[in-house]
Structure 1
Amino acid sequence: MTALTLTPTLPSRAAVRTFLSRYAGVLVILAVVAFFAVVNDNFLTFKNMTDILRSVSVSAFLALGVTFSLVVDGFDVSIGSVASLATIGAAAAMVYHRQELFVAILVPLLLGAVVGLVNALLVVRLRLPDLLATLAMMFIVNGIQLTYTNGYSIYPGVMTASGPATGIIVPSFLFIGQGDVLGVPFAVLLLLAVVVVAHLFLTRTTVGRHMFMVGGNAEAARHLGLSVGRLKTIAYVVSGLLAAVGGIVLTSRIGSGQISAGAPMLMDAVAAAYVGYAIFGQKRPSVIGTLLGALLIGILLNGLTMMNVPYYAQDIVKGGVFAIALAFAFLRKDK
């Protein structure tokens, strides 16, 4: 009998590129986690992991808002200002007007929905480019919250025209950003619940699938009888609502309404959304991918801080890691 010899076959270059394109984002996250775990023994502790999750909860909500606008081939850059407005709205409801939890949540959500509707009006009715329309709204909304507060933050006891404000940030509201459930931050549980609902909405409902069709080819979607304007309006309203939720969580975490508090989170949110766009090789917006992108940001900032890297140098490392993740994800496959 002739012995059979088996020679291992190496994966082709195309197969390697396909693998890297599909899992580059996940591999980068695992590599970053492994690196920080090696250089710092405290990195993988439960407390540090929950701190990372808590820290990314706000920017993740904003990133999900960007994701919904990307689904319909738009781009919402007003989310940072919407989060700031929501922060001021929630704090003002409690501190200035002595309202309880329900109103403190309802007011910022309504503000977010209104901004989303105005964005949709500018994009759908006036046919302004998404970037320019939402950029204009970013300045308008930022100006509104600064004008309303006269440039001052809102906190218990802040001086007003009629004397010190007598309201407080109610404990039930503070629980949203500071409370834990079985050791897990409530804000993280809220984020995971929203991620699940958003993912199911976009992938399992008719409206969600139609939104992807609009993003893929709006003209073809229109020929199929889809209401492109209505679907874009839904996307921008949801984007505003998600940014408002981020503002609520932020207000609860810091216990006050800080002016322009959401503005610095805009670029992190955009970066997370675009990493989600590239992850798993889908080349389209992804709720799960956006969550992973937000986690990558949180892990980088946490690890660099633990390594005592100066804050002004952290953006260099963060930008480099994102470039690597996106470069692998967008590798062209051999034809």
Structure 2
Amino acid sequence: MKTTLHEDAVSAPLLSAPLATRVVSPRTRLREALERGGIVLLLIVLCAVFTWCEPVFLGVDNLFNILQSAAIVALLAVGVSITLAVGGFDLSIGSIAATAQMAASYVLVVWHGSAFDAFAACLALGVATGLFNGVLITRFRVPDQLATLGTLFLLAGLQLIPTGGRSLATGSILPDGTETTGTFPDAFLAFGRARWLGVVPVPVIVLAAITLVAVLVMEFSRWGRVLYATGGNETAARLAGAPTARYRIGAYVASGAIASVGGALIAARVGRGDVGAGHSLLLDAVAAALIGYAVWGLKRPNVLGAVTGAVFVGVLLNGLTMLNAPYYMQDFIKGALLVGALAFTFSIGRKTTR
């Protein structure tokens, strides 16, 4: 069908106008703001409610106590986020932390090692486990969840064998009947208990340093872009020349190393090797990492969002404890708030996209 020059001149601006300018209504702007900051807004609301009920909640000491209690979960959530970025999922991260704290305790109280030896043992364990996971996934083609689930059970059993299933401290009796005589040196305990300038706990400083490095690598470096490209479309990334297998292995090695730091923090804080440590770390870390999807509306795994999610959980548990909420209700309340917050954020984002 033919059109006249006049008709073309009139219709062209009408067709191109929506492409040139986008009229955003106030309602759409509000939805976009809620999508980006919904979790942060809810965090602020929680702090306001807890402060109204217990004014001491916003005290400096309590705030740093919250950060200290959330530091280990946040570290593990960072590791989970890195593996999620490459399309994987590290289910062994809680067992790595638990086994690392047992390894550090064994080095100190059985082998009479130094604080440096204990840290080195933790890192070696984390790197070796991450490498083991990566090789299973890339070389033997085992699916990520199944490979890391198998590693979870391996480590859960491994940490019990040297001590016969008992916790480990000075004076513990080993399966062969010998008594441990080593001690936790002050230099090691300071890693989990000391406060910089008498205010900032060392675990919070460790978390801040690792978070900063992880954010710089994941968001502003070529390595981070390749990691996300591998998770988005591994075949396309490989055809573009990226060594995707190496990056996947590197992601799991980084996850294991970060988890081992969390294990060292646990041992330094409690001053013994606790066989019960780490049982809830996996679920809390995964929850924090998944909350990170909703932070700032990114809808993808990201380090800063995972740390925000861990702080969110820490604030919620601390506030419920201060309000003397029954312990058997805390998990339910935590789950209800998390599900509600995520559903709200993602439903808002879906409407905005439409």
- Partners of 1:304 and 1:244 in 2: how far apart? 29
Matched position secondary structure for 1:322 = helix
Task: Compute the TM-score of the two structures, normalised by the length of structure 1.
Answer: 0.95
Amino acid at match of 2:192: G
Amino acid paired to 2:227: M
Following superposition, the deviation at residue 291 of structure 1 comes to: 0.9
Q: Give matches, 1:1-335, under 5 Å.
A: 11-160=25-174, 161-182=176-197, 183-331=199-347, 332=350, 333-335=352-354
Inter-partner Cα distance in structure 2 for 1:70 and 1:334: 24
Quote how far apart the aligned CAs of 1:126 are: 1.5
Query: 2: distance between equivalents of 1:281 and 1:241?
Result: 28
Deviation at 1:325, TM superposition (A): 2.0
User: Conserved in 2, the CA contact under 8 Å of 1:142 and 1:260?
Assistant: no
Pairwise CA distance, 1:148:
2.2
**Separation in 1 of the partners of 2:128 and 2:313?**
29
Please list the CA deviations of residues 228-286 of structure 1 after superposition, one character each: whole Å capped at 9, or x if unmatched: 10000000000001110110001111000111411211111001001112211111111
Q: 1:289 to 1:334 in 2, by over 3 A?
A: closer
Query: Which amino acid in 1 is paired with 2:143?
Result: P
CA–CA separation in structure 1 for the residues paired with 2:132 and 2:167: 26
- After superposition, give the CA deviation of every residue in 1:23-64 in whole Å (9 maximum; x if it has no partner): 111111111111111111110011111110111111111111
Please tell me the root mean square deviation across aligned C-alpha atoms, in Å: 1.4
SS at match of 1:51: helix
The alignment of Structure 1 onto Structure 2 pairs a total of residues equal to: 327
Q: Runs of 5+ in structure 2 lacking a partner?
A: 1-22
Identity level (%):
41
The alpha-carbon deviation at position 329 of structure 1 amounts to 2.4
Q: Residues 202, 121 of structure 1: CA spacing in aligned structure 2 closer, same or farther, 3 A cutoff?
A: same
Q: Secondary structure at the match of 2:57?
A: coil
Task: Please tell me whether Structure 1 or Structure 2 has the larger radius of gyration of its CA atoms.
Answer: 2
- For residues 71-109 of structure 1, the C-alpha deviation after alignment (integer angstroms, 9 at most, x for no partner) is 101100101110111011100000000000111100011
Q: Secondary structure at the match of 1:165?
A: coil
* Residues in 1 aligned to 2:276 and 2:301: alpha-carbon distance in whole angstroms: 27
| Deviation per residue, 1:129-162 (Å, 9 max, x gap) | 1111111110111111112221011111112335
Asked if 2 retains the 8 angstrom alpha-carbon contact of 1:59 and 1:294, the reply is yes
Which segments of structure 1 move beyond 4 Å, counting only runs of 4 or more? none
Contact in 2 for aligned 1:88/1:145 (Cα 8 Å): yes
Q: Which runs of 5+ in 1 are unaligned?
A: 1-8
